[in-house]
Structure 1
Amino acid sequence: MNSKELIRARKHLSLTQKEAAAFIKVSQRTWQQWELGQRNMRPAFWELFLIKTNYKPEIENMKAIFNEYTQKDIKTKHEELADLTHKKEQEKNKDKSFKFIDLFSGIGGIRTAFEAVGGGCVFSSEIDIHAQYTYYSNYGVVPYGDINKIDKESIPEHDILCGGFPCQPFSHIGKREGFEHPTQGTMFHEILKIVDIKKPRVIFLENVPGILNHDDGKTLEVILDELSSRNYKCHHTILNASDFGVPQNRKRFYLVCFLDDVEFSFPLPPMTKVDIGDYVEDNVVGYTISEHLQKAYLFKKDDGRPNVIDRNSKGSIKTLVSTYHKIQRLTGTFVKGGETGLRLLSVNECKAIMGFPKEFVIPVSRTQMYRQMGNSVVIKVVEAIASEIVSSLNKVDNKKVS
Structure 2
Amino acid sequence: MAKQVHIRVDDDIYKELSDYSVVSGQSMQDCLSVAIRQMLVKAKEEPSQDCNGYTFIDLFAGIGGMRLAFESAGGCCVYSNEWNKYSQQTYYANFGVQPDGDITKVQAESIPDHDILVAGFPCQPFSIAGVSKKNSLGRATGFEDKTQGTLFFDVCRILKAKRPKAFMLENVKNLCSHDKGRTFQIIQESLRELNYKVFFQIIDGKGYVPQHRERIVIVGFDKERYGENVSFSFDLHPLKKQPVVRDILEKEVSEKYTLSDKLWIYLQNYAAKHREAGNGFGYGIAPLDGVTRTISARYYKDGSEILIEQRGKNPRRLTPRECARLQGFPDSFKIPVSDTQAYRQFGNSVVVPLMSDVAKLIVAKLEQLDTDPQIEIAFSNIPQRKVI
TM-score by structure 2 length? 0.77
Match of 1:113 in 2: 69
- The change in CA–CA distance for 1:264 and 1:133 in structure 2 (over 3 A counts) is same
Match of 2:119 in 1: 163
1:377 corresponds to 2:350: yes
Q: In structure 1, the residue corresponding to 2:293 is in which secondary structure?
A: coil
1:302 corresponds to 2:279: no
- Post-superposition Cα deviations, 1:82-113, rounded to whole Å, max 9, x if no partner, equal 58748977955642311100000000000000
The partner residue of 1:320 within 295, 309, 317 is 295
Using the TM superposition, name which of 73-82 and 188-197 deviates more. 73-82
The partner residue of 1:215 within 176, 179, 185 is 179
CA contact (8 A) 2:267 2:304 kept: no
User: d(CA) in 1 for partners of 2:282 and 2:263?
Assistant: 14
User: d(CA) in 1 for partners of 2:28 and 2:328?
Assistant: 28
TM-score by structure 1 length? 0.74
The total of aligned residue pairs comes to 327
Match of 2:246 in 1: 277
Match of 2:234 in 1: 266
The 5 A counterparts of 1:137-156 are: 137-156=93-112
Match of 2:10 in 1: none
Match of 1:29 in 2: none
User: d(CA) in 1 for partners of 2:178 and 2:46?
Assistant: 37
Corresponding letter in the other structure for 1:281: E
The 5 A counterparts of 1:180-259 are: 181-243=145-207, 245-259=208-222
Q: In structure 1, the residue corresponding to 2:266 is in which secondary structure?
A: helix
The partner residue of 2:326 within 353, 360, 375 is 353
Q: In structure 2, the residue corresponding to 1:383 is in which secondary structure?
A: helix
User: d(CA) in 1 for partners of 2:345 and 2:268?
Assistant: 23
Corresponding letter in the other structure for 1:399: D
Instruction: Please identify runs of 4+ aligned residues in structure 1 that moved more than 4 A.
Output: 71-74, 79-84, 86-93, 172-175
Corresponding letter in the other structure for 1:290: S
Match of 2:340 in 1: 367
Match of 2:364 in 1: 391
CA contact (8 A) 1:174 1:184 kept: no
Q: Which runs of 5+ in 2 are unaligned?
A: 3-26, 135-140, 275-280, 378-388
CA contact (8 A) 2:236 2:358 kept: no
Q: CA deviation at 1:278?
A: 1.9
Q: In structure 2, the residue corresponding to 1:113 is in which secondary structure?
A: helix
CA contact (8 A) 2:304 2:317 kept: no
Match of 1:290 in 2: 260
Match of 2:15 in 1: none
Match of 2:80 in 1: 124
CA contact (8 A) 1:86 1:141 kept: no
1:102 corresponds to 2:65: no
- The change in CA–CA distance for 1:235 and 1:119 in structure 2 (over 3 A counts) is same
CA contact (8 A) 1:351 1:373 kept: yes
Q: In structure 2, the residue corresponding to 1:223 is in which secondary structure?
A: helix
- The change in CA–CA distance for 1:299 and 1:331 in structure 2 (over 3 A counts) is farther
- The change in CA–CA distance for 1:90 and 1:157 in structure 2 (over 3 A counts) is farther
- The change in CA–CA distance for 1:86 and 1:337 in structure 2 (over 3 A counts) is farther
The sequence identity of aligned pairs, in percent, is 38
Q: CA deviation at 1:219?
A: 1.3
Q: In structure 2, the residue corresponding to 1:254 is in which secondary structure?
A: strand
User: d(CA) in 1 for partners of 2:75 and 2:354?
Assistant: 16
- The change in CA–CA distance for 1:331 and 1:284 in structure 2 (over 3 A counts) is closer
The partner residue of 1:78 within 34, 39, 45 is 34
Q: In structure 2, the residue corresponding to 1:325 is in which secondary structure?
A: helix
User: d(CA) in 2 for partners of 1:84 and 1:151?
Assistant: 24
Corresponding letter in the other structure for 1:357: P
CA contact (8 A) 2:260 2:314 kept: no
Q: In structure 1, the residue corresponding to 2:79 is in which secondary structure?
A: strand
User: d(CA) in 1 for partners of 2:96 and 2:215?
Assistant: 28
Q: In structure 1, the residue corresponding to 2:69 is in which secondary structure?
A: helix
- Post-superposition Cα deviations, 1:186-224, rounded to whole Å, max 9, x if no partner, equal 111111111111000011100001111112211111111
1:341 corresponds to 2:318: no
Q: In structure 2, the residue corresponding to 1:239 is in which secondary structure?
A: strand
Q: Which runs of 5+ in 1 are unaligned?
A: 1-38, 41-70
